Amino acid sequence: MKDTKSLLLGMLSVGLVGTWVYHLYDKTQYSKRRTEVYIKDSIAVAQGVQDSLQKRYAYAISDLDAQLDSTKSTAGQLQGALQTKLSEINRLRNEIATILRKNNITKEDLGMARTKTVELQQLIAELQNKNTTIEEEKKQISTVLDKVTVQVKDLEGNVQKLGQENKVLTEKVALASAFVASELNLSPVTVKNDKEQETTQAKKASKLVISFTVQNNIAENEIAEVFVIITQPTGSILRNDDVWEATTITLQNGQRINYTRKVRFEYQKGEAKRLIFSLNAEEYLKGTYTLQVYHNGYMIGQTMKTLK
């Protein structure tokens, strides 16, 4: 009985030991499988994250490339510092592309790519903001130029108006400084027994006596001169005895005309100066002779005489 009891206890002990051994073996296998599954799942997740990040960065780079191309097309005016930004942008693009082409990309590589992408986005945003600023400045400059153009046109109008006013004023001053002629006489005379007598007969005339009075209360003319024009019945200008003296004068309207004689004389402001001289002609014609007196380009007096 005692032997049977000992045998049962021994068998029970062996069974318990076997159960424990099996339990330990099974637990070890289960833990091993869990470790293998966890490791495999972690690798898959990491690979998925890498693929997702690569797609994300590839899309970001593609979008940034499009933005950069658009920015370059309007960045012709960027020089100096902006050119440095473009070089920096190209450098970051190349570095990001190099990182993403790695076969065994690490977490550190992905973090570096993310940092460089953010930096790249900031640089491109700065470049786009600079372009916007340039466009705004161009609009402001265009507005200022438009205002300046209007001001210039107004100024040109004022200058033209002032020029016209100055022209009128100059003409008034010139006219005011011109002499006033009065008591004009053109007298054909005949000489008989050393005595001069006025005649109206062309065949009896031996010379022409011209006289007139000039006066000006404004001009200071110590030495003054006036020009005398005598037009014959034929319409031609009577030439003086001294042919070399006859020449032309310029009128205020720019016209140039021949004159018969230039008369120079001393003058004091306000004086009524009486001038008298005579002219000889090769012949005296029937018809009307016209006497005109000019000063400063203005005709200051005129009279006519008819010979029969």
Give me the CATH number covering residue 250. 2.60.40.10
Same domain for 97 and 14: yes
How many domains are contained in the chain?
2
Domain boundary among 81, 103, 136: 136
Going 105 to 108 to 114 to 120, the CA torsion angle's sign is negative
Confidence band (pLDDT; 50, 70, 90) for 34? very low
Q: Summarize the confidence of residues 278-294 as an average pLDDT.
A: 91
Q: Greater confidence, 192 or 13? A: 192
Three-state secondary-structure class, residue 293: strand
Percent of the chain beyond pLDDT 90?
18
Q: Round to whole Å and give the CA distance between 237 and 235.
A: 7
Same domain for 274 and 196: yes
In a domain, 168, yes or no: no
In a domain, 159, yes or no: no
DSSP 230: E
In a domain, 161, yes or no: no
In a domain, 34, yes or no: yes
Domain that holds residue 277: 178-307
Domain boundary among 111, 136, 161: 136
Q: Summarize the confidence of residues 228-253 as an average pLDDT.
A: 79
User: Which run of H or of E encompasses 255?
Assistant: none
In a domain, 151, yes or no: no
Q: Greater confidence, 183 or 105? A: 183
Q: Summarize the confidence of residues 24-45 as an average pLDDT.
A: 46
> Which residues make Cβ contacts (< 8 Å) with residue 120, sequence separation at least 6?
64, 89, 92, 93, 96
Going 14 to 18 to 19 to 21, the CA torsion angle's sign is positive
Q: What are phi and psi of 266, to 5 degrees?
A: -85, 145
Q: What is the pLDDT of residue 151?
A: 66
Q: Which amino acid does the sequence have at 218?
A: I
Same domain for 89 and 17: yes
Domain boundary among 74, 109, 136: 136
Q: What is the pLDDT of residue 17?
A: 42
In a domain, 91, yes or no: yes
263, 210 Cβ separation under 8 angstroms? no
For residue range 74-93, list pLDDT tens digits in order.
545 555 666 777 788 788 78
In a domain, 172, yes or no: no
Same domain for 187 and 128: no
In a domain, 13, yes or no: yes
